[in-house]
Amino acid sequence: MPNHGVTHYFVVVLDEYRAFLAFRYWPYSLWDMHHEIIGIATMDQDKSKQELIDELSELRRKVAELKEFQQSDTAHQESERRLLTLMSNLPGMAYRCRNDSEWTMEFVSEGCFPITGYHRSELLHNQVSSYGDLIYPEDRQMVREGVQEALAKEQHFQFEYRIRTATGEDKWVWEQGTGIYSDEGQVDALEGFISDITGRKKAEEALKKAHDILEQRVEERTAELTESNEQLQQEVEQRRRAEERFSKAFHSNPSPMAMESSDGRIVEVNQALLLTLGYKRSELIGATAAELGMFLDPERQKAAGSALLEEGRLRKFALDVRAKSGRVRHGLFSGEVIQVQDQQMLLTVMEDITERKLAQEALQKEYQTLKHLLQSSDHERQLIAYELHDGLTQQLAGAIMQFDTFADLKDKHPKEAKDALHAGLTMLRQSHFEARRLIAGVRPPILDESGVVEAIAHLVHEQGRRKGPQIDFHSSVDFDRLVPTLENTIYRIAQEGLANACQHSKSEKVRVSFLQDGDQVRVEIRDWGIGFDTKTVREKHFGLESVRQRTRLMGGKCSIKSKPGKGTAVVVELPVVEREQSG
């Protein structure tokens, strides 16, 4: 207000306890002892003394509130200083950022520089670089989807991913954070902590490399031990033949051995034979193999004994022996005619080849499986060749002829030339469609692009478009992608089973289920059609036999249940082997 030279009284408040009256021309500025303005005081000269006292009390109250506020603000500033000091000493960077495509930083601690190579001022509000640009392109989608999924569930998120620093260095980082929500439940910001785990990752890589080297050395040592073991067995065999007349060698021999009289009575056995056949020594001594029913083919065993007596020795004569428990052991028998106390004895040794024979049978079965699959593959190639020759090739040839006709007629007969061009283009489009159909039949692109679940769904959809039974498809799996060989196997099994059900079952409804149970995945194709005798499956149902062999090769289980008039259920269980995520 203007100064008219009138003296005004006012109150100067030093603190909540001290104040004094003064007079001076208006206006009057109040200064504290540090020469800082703390306010402007006004005074109405017409107020009474009591009113001045009341006003002084009110001013004291306000000053007390002001000092309390100043003390609270000072404590808050001290708390923020301590927090910043703490964050600057943490081995990582604390942050607050927006939930946008760039992860725009609204706050970041000093720890950002050792990790990213950028100072706080360079990252704040994307001044030089946004944090989103530092994340590896291959990892950005994983980080974004993971964060959004956690925010939707109002949960913490945690990731490991790679960044590229300001100096071009590649680093692995670990991040943990959470969303900050408004009262309305909207995401206001993200807050979290990021640390450098490059050293740990390198250590893990070095550990894996060392583990691989160790495994290689173990394999090499195992091979050496296997070779040494084979050599040792040969030496033992040689030593046994050289010392077979000595009782010590007989009883300590690891191979089942027996000594018989010339009439076939068992005189002595070693511990290995007792363990192999499960007999007690007292049950064998004095008895004959025929009395015990020991050999599955007594006549062959008798022929072996005669040959031993006639030739004086027998080498690796194959005989099947029945143990006391009834279990059959496969053996190669060798023998020598020896003299013991002037008596002729037959010394025989058995080489237990049961496991080897089972392995050979399994190998033969594997060979038959591979042969079957090769035949199936050749059959598929033959069908493709027929379709190429009768379909695609003929269409392409027709298109070429139409284009040749166009070239000949375009100048003299443009209308006929135009018709030929259209006909050629139509054939070319048909050829393109036929080529894509053939490719999809061999390996549909959707299998590589979207995975086996989408591929089977597409297969069911395409089959449903044709004239045939109603097809229901149900899928419930937790995995994203499986290894390519497993995906291809599952797709082929579903393709073969669905084709058989639609073409041969005469069922009005087919159900395809694709379910995961822990580390197993189950594929089931069920129809309610005419069914068949499962005993003839190998002879008449080439496709279902292919399903069995594919399942066995992948370490799974296959069950085909069917009865005439009761429908068919093909159930396959396979181990889940997920594809490693690249990048």
Distance from the Cα of residue 177 to its chain's centroid: 26
Query: Cα separation of 582 and 7, whole Å?
Result: 86
Query: Nearest-CA neighbor of 281 among 264, 258, 301?
Result: 258
Taking a C-beta distance cutoff of 8 angstroms, is the pair 170, 164 a contact? yes
- Greater model confidence, 363 or 171: 171
Give yes or no: residues 462 and 558 share one domain.
yes
Q: Each residue of 80-132: pLDDT tens digit?
A: 555 555 555 667 888 999 999 999 999 998 889 999 999 999 999 999 999 99
Residue 477 has pLDDT above 60, yes or no: yes
Give yes or no: residues 454 and 562 share one domain.
yes
CATH number of the domain where residue 496 is located: 3.30.565.10
- Asked whether residue 223 is domain-assigned, the answer is no
Give yes or no: residues 566 and 458 share one domain.
yes
Per-residue pLDDT at 226: 86
Give the helix/strand (H/E) hosting 221. helix 198-242
Q: Each residue of 298-336: pLDDT tens digit?
A: 888 888 888 888 888 888 888 889 988 888 888 888 888
Give yes or no: residues 465 and 524 share one domain.
yes
The torsion defined by the Cα of 287, 293, 296 and 300, in degrees rounded to 10, comes to: 40
Query: Nearest-CA neighbor of 12 among 50, 52, 45, 47?
Result: 52
Reported as a pLDDT band with limits 50, 70 and 90, residue 443 is low
Taking a C-beta distance cutoff of 8 angstroms, is the pair 514, 497 a contact? no
Query: Cα separation of 303 and 52, whole Å?
Result: 139
Q: Each residue of 562-578: pLDDT tens digit?
A: 888 889 999 999 998 88
Query: Cα separation of 84 and 95, whole Å?
Result: 12
Last residue of a domain, one of 380, 409, 439: 439
CATH number of the domain where residue 153 is located: 3.30.450.20
Count of structural domains within the chain: 5
Average pLDDT, the chain: 79
Sequence-distant (≥ 6) Cβ neighbours of residue 362 within 8 angstroms: none
State the greatest distance between any 2 C-alpha atoms of the chain, in Å, as a whole number: 157
Reported as a pLDDT band with limits 50, 70 and 90, residue 39 is very low
Give yes or no: residues 182 and 76 share one domain.
no
Last residue of a domain, one of 348, 382, 410: 348
Sequence-distant (≥ 6) Cβ neighbours of residue 256 within 8 angstroms: 269, 270, 272, 273, 275, 276, 277, 331, 349, 350, 352
DSSP 342: T
Per-residue pLDDT at 393: 75
- Beta bridge partners of residue 124, listed in sequence order: 105
Residue 558 has pLDDT above 60, yes or no: yes
Angle 101-106-110 (CA atoms, 0-180°, nearest 5)?
Answer: 115
Query: Nearest-CA neighbor of 482 among 456, 452, 459?
Result: 452
- Asked whether residue 582 is domain-assigned, the answer is no
- Asked whether residue 2 is domain-assigned, the answer is no
- Asked whether residue 232 is domain-assigned, the answer is no
Could you list the residue range(s) of the whole structural domain that residue 165 is in? 90-196
Taking a C-beta distance cutoff of 8 angstroms, is the pair 29, 37 a contact? yes
Give yes or no: residues 97 and 48 share one domain.
no
Taking a C-beta distance cutoff of 8 angstroms, is the pair 545, 487 a contact? no
**Helical H runs in 44-165?**
49-89, 112-116, 120-123, 131-134, 137-152
Residue 25 has pLDDT above 50, yes or no: no
Taking a C-beta distance cutoff of 8 angstroms, is the pair 116, 166 a contact? yes
Can you give 501-531 as a three-state secondary structure string?
HHHHCCCCEEEEEEEEECCEEEEEEEECCCC
3-state secondary structure of 4: coil
- Greater model confidence, 371 or 564: 564
In 408-540, at which residue ranges do the beta strands (DSSP E only) sit? 470-476, 509-517, 520-527
What are the distances in angstroms from CA 259 to CA 216, 277, 287, 397, 549? 46, 15, 12, 82, 47
- Tokens representing 164? 């590229």
What are the distances in angstroms from CA 401 to CA 71, 81, 163, 432? 97, 86, 58, 17
Q: Each residue of 257-296: pLDDT tens digit?
A: 888 888 888 888 888 888 888 899 898 899 988 888 888 8
- Asked whether residue 580 is domain-assigned, the answer is no
Give yes or no: residues 316 and 259 share one domain.
yes
Query: Cα separation of 176 and 195, whole Å?
Result: 9
- Tokens representing 479? 């995995």
What are the distances in angstroms from CA 50 to CA 40, 105, 152, 566? 21, 58, 64, 109
Query: Cα separation of 168 and 39, whole Å?
Result: 56
Residue-wise burial string across 136-165, b where 16 or more C-beta atoms lie within 10 A, e elsewhere: beebeebbeeebeebbeeeeebebebbbbb
Q: Each residue of 501-555: pLDDT tens digit?
A: 888 888 899 999 999 999 999 999 999 999 888 776 554 455 777 788 888 878 8
Residue 459 has pLDDT above 70, yes or no: yes
The number of beta carbons lying within 10 Å of the beta carbon of residue 301 is 20
Query: Cα separation of 141 and 144, whole Å?
Result: 5
DSSP 392: I
Residue 395 has pLDDT above 80, yes or no: no
Per-residue pLDDT at 29: 43
Distance from the Cα of residue 9 to its chain's centroid: 86
- Tokens representing 568? 């068919």
For 330-355, what is the mean pLDDT? Answer: 84
Per-residue pLDDT at 537: 57
Q: Each residue of 170-187: pLDDT tens digit?
A: 999 999 999 999 888 899
Residue 405 has pLDDT above 90, yes or no: no
Residue 347 has pLDDT above 50, yes or no: yes
Query: Cα separation of 575 and 551, whole Å?
Result: 10
Give yes or no: residues 115 and 184 share one domain.
yes
Give yes or no: residues 257 and 284 share one domain.
yes
Query: Cα separation of 431 and 416, whole Å?
Result: 22
For 425-440, what is the mean pLDDT? Answer: 71
- Asked whether residue 230 is domain-assigned, the answer is no
- Asked whether residue 161 is domain-assigned, the answer is yes
Query: Cα separation of 25 and 9, whole Å?
Result: 9
Q: Each residue of 182-241: pLDDT tens digit?
A: 888 899 999 999 999 999 999 998 999 999 999 899 888 888 888 888 888 887 677 556
Residue 14 has pLDDT above 70, yes or no: no
* Percent of the chain topping pLDDT 70: 75
Per-residue pLDDT at 125: 94
Give yes or no: residues 494 and 471 share one domain.
yes
Give yes or no: residues 326 and 386 share one domain.
no
Last residue of a domain, one of 27, 60, 86: 86
Per-residue pLDDT at 150: 94
- Greater model confidence, 5 or 385: 385
| Highest mean pLDDT out of 17-21, 190-194, 337-341 | 190-194
Give yes or no: residues 130 and 146 share one domain.
yes
Identity of the amino acid at 86: L
- Asked whether residue 277 is domain-assigned, the answer is yes
